[in-house]
Amino acid sequence: MGKWADFVVSGITKGPGLANITHVQIHEDYGTEFGKPQIVDKKTIASQIKKGKKYLTIYKKNETDWEPGEIIHTYVLNGETHIRTDNNKVEGDSLGTLPEIES
């Protein structure tokens, strides 16, 4: 498989508002496999991205295979931290079509 990123993101939890992600499900990328899922808040991810960690969305193809998605970027707009896979610097988060999970 090869290492895709420091961490991969496989799901999200939304808060109030259409484009407001509060938590994400991450897995450490070991290169040959992914670590156990952990739920972390988006500010933790944004902080780690600013420190140079690479986060990538992933999508489940079947029971054992994953497909890489897009690199996650972070920025602050009007005092609010956002995470997105595109380069739009608008109010709101967007990590593509990741499934919603219970946090």
Sequential pLDDT tens for the chain (103 residues): 689 999 999 999 998 876 799 999 999 999 999 999 999 999 999 999 999 999 999 999 988 889 999 999 999 999 989 999 999 999 899 999 999 997 6
Half-sphere exposure of 5 (CA within 13 A, CB side): 23
Q: What is the pTM of this model?
A: 0.92
In the chain, where the domains are located = 7-84
Helix or strand run (H / E) with residue 92: none
CA dist., res. 99 & res. 30, Å (int): 23
CB half-sphere exposure, 50, CA atoms < 13 A: 12
Identify whether the C-beta of residue 53 lies closer than 8 Å to the C-beta of residue 46. Answer: no
Q: How far apart are CA 50 and CA 21, in angstroms?
A: 18
Report the amino acid identity of residue 97.
Answer: T
